[in-house]
Amino acid sequence: MRLLIVEDEPRMATALQRGLVAEGFTVEVAFNGPDGLHLARENSYDAIVCDIMLPGLSGYRLIEALRAEQNWVPVLVLSAKDGEYDEADALDLGADDYLVKPFSFVVLLARLRAVLRRGVRPRPAILSCGDLSLDPAARAVRRGETEIELTPREFSLLEYLMRRAGDAVSKADILHHVWDAHYEGDANVIEVYVGYLRRKIDLPFGRHAVQTVRGAGYRLASDGG
């Protein structure tokens, strides 16, 4: 297991390095943001442990830059801040976990192991299919540059379809996940809402992202139509 530590405070960096080496990890250290980004680009790490407050380039920007390059290496963020919105920001930006300083080494180790166990897989904070994108945190949907207004129900329907983009999704599945497990009503609501969605995200753009798979359900084209 090969780790990169990005941490500007020398004592903290050294302590982390020693501890993790003692646990059997191979560890490299960068003391500022740009160096960290450079190392992360050039090498393939199993995980990155990254401070937020960094000279040159903040931890946020570092993660953002990596994710923009489709680099999904697990990142564990360390921060002296304890404002809750910082944490929310980091996770929505694509960090994998978050620790507030001071933290105990045991907790760091446990979280690092949890993060490593999950391994690398693409998980963009913003869902996108072609030029169609949906940001769950911001509750925003856009086709290219055009912002699209959706009602809450329309939004969850699209979110569910986008999370399963490319799959044919049955109406029963949709009813369970977007409406309620015990929803008693007619599955016709889905047809109605699919209609609403199409009128907002497809028709004005001459696209066909939301496809009917007769007898099976619906499918969102993974290329956005």
Measured from the CB atom, the residue of 60 and 179 that comes closer to DNA is 179
CB-neighbour burial class of residue 109 (10 A; exposed 0-12, middle 13-18, buried 19+) = middle
Classified as helix, coil or strand, 174 is helix
**Which residues contact DNA (rule: CB under 7 A)?**
149, 151-154, 171, 179, 184-186, 188-189, 191-195, 198, 212, 214-217
Shortest Å, Cβ 28 to DNA: 16
- DSSP, res 175: I
Phi, psi of 155 (to 5 degrees): -65, -50
CB-count burial class (<10 Å; 0-12, 13-18, 19+) for 37: buried
Closest distance of CB 26 from a second copy, Å: 5
Is residue 111 within the footprint of a second copy (CB under 8 A)?
A: yes
Pick 69 or 191: Cβ nearer DNA: 191
Site string for a second copy, 175-204 (x = CB under 8 A): -xxxxxx-----------------------
98 to 86, 90, 225: CA distances (angstroms): 10, 8, 36
Give DSSP secondary structure letters for 2-29.
EEEEE-S-HHHHHHHHHHHHHTT-EEEE
Binding site for a second copy (CB under 8 A): 1-2, 24, 26, 28, 43-44, 46, 84-85, 87-88, 91-92, 95-97, 104, 106-107, 109-111, 113-114, 117-121, 123-125, 136-140, 151-152, 155-156, 159-160, 163-164, 166-168, 176-181, 213-216, 219
